[in-house]
Amino acid sequence: MPARFFASVALCTVLLVLPVTAQINTCNARGMVSDQDQNPIAGATVEFQSIQLGIKFVLHTNKKGEYFQLGVKPGFYNISVSAPGYGTYQKSIRLEMGNDFTNHVGNTNNDNLHNLVLPPAGKNIDDRAATTSDITVVDFTSPTSETRQSREAKRQRELQKENADTQKRVAKIKGLNEKLLMASSAGKAGDWDQAVAFAQQATQMAPDIDLTWAVLGDAYMGRQQPDEAEHAYQKAIEMRPNLAGYHNNLARALSQKNDMQHAVPEFVAAIKMDPFNAPRYYYNMAAAFTAAHDADDAVKAWDEVIRLDPTKSDAYYWKAFNLNAQGKPAAAAAISDALQQYLQRDPDGQYADAAKVMLQQVSR
């Protein structure tokens, strides 16, 4: 698998971070479980399981259908809700520092406003994020939706403000911007030892600015040290948990270690946080599955890349590559079609010769 597939979100050159965040390292899980008529359900079981952290805990609702837990470690969780006489409901959420995960309707914390509603007996609803066996994320990129476009415009305005705030913070620390630029320049020149050294100095100068850790993570990735990169990206995420690029890069570090169990939820988090760039994150996920020789999930991921951005010619080639790796005789037509799509879009591309050879093989 060519290294170019693991394209990084350019954190070294673009400032995409928030100013000072509250010094809180836990959050609260609070909510209500009700039926479809909004009647509270007492005695319901609400199970939280962290994909990232390996944490699992179970809560039960009181007579008012409410549950509450203090001191929960922030991260990405799957929730499973059940009660006697009802079906089950499963959902993926992110618990963030300094916020309640508040499901109770009417609470002022609108960022986490959900209501866990159990379906009737015999019906089960699964709204969890994608896993390695079920890569399906809602398409938020439709240009026909004014709400989605408005949401993206708002997000871009927020990012611009965060960029300006971060630039001010960096400028206040003498020599910090120079260290970050030196790390970036060294990385572009392929001198990853120097890039790591400069980035380490930046984290020492400003350990509370997440950008310094993100740049260090990029430098470690360049030096082929995914364990160290994982730690650096985790530090950045602790300070800025809702930046898609950090989760994408953490997923790249994890996948380089062949830890797809934890990489996939990070890719999914990036997709959900930044759906307008979903093709990029799916591309990285598909490349990671391909590198891990997981042809089944790779085909699904490449299909998502093609669905979201049909102009990405390489995706057709790698879809065919993984279909071929599955070794299913019935896939010959699909392999041929994908290869022809690739050659139509990029007849002189990097994989053109290999595509022609594969096309001849499946046509026999």
Reported as a single tens digit per residue, the pLDDT across 63-93 is: 888 877 655 666 778 889 999 999 999 888 7
Q: pLDDT category, 53, cuts 50, 70, 90?
A: low
Could you tell me the pLDDT band of residue 114, with boundaries at 50, 70 and 90?
low
pLDDT of residue 353: 94
Q: What's this model's pTM, rounded to 2 decimal places?
A: 0.60
- Report the DSSP beta bridge partners of residue 116: 33
What span, in angstroms and rounded, lies between the C-alpha atoms of 183 and 173?
A: 16
Provide the 3-class DSSP secondary structure of residue 113: coil
Average pLDDT over residues 113-129: 77
Lowest mean pLDDT among 15-24, 52-61, 234-243: 15-24
Tokens 């093989």 sit on residue: 361
Average pLDDT value over all residues in the chain: 78
Residue type present at position 26: T
pLDDT in tens, 325-342: 998 888 899 999 999 999
* Whole-number Å distance between alpha carbons of 37 and 267: 35
pLDDT at 94: 72
Joined tokens for residue 169? 């913070």
Cα–Cα distance for residue pair 349/125, rounded to 1 Å: 44
Strands 116-117 and 56-60: unpaired
DSSP 141: -
Q: What is the pLDDT of residue 297?
A: 92
State the DSSP code for 108.
S
Confidence (pLDDT) at 177: 82
| Distance, CA of 293 to CA of 290 (rounded, Å) | 5
Q: What is the per-residue pLDDT for 243?
A: 87
Q: Report the chain's C-alpha Rg in angstroms.
A: 23
Domains and CATH numbers, the chain: 27-127 (2.60.40.1120)
Cβ 88 vs Cβ 81: under 8 Å = yes
Q: Is the dihedral of CA 66, 71, 74, 78 positive or negative?
A: negative
d(CA 13, CA 249): 15
Eight-state DSSP code of residue 44: -
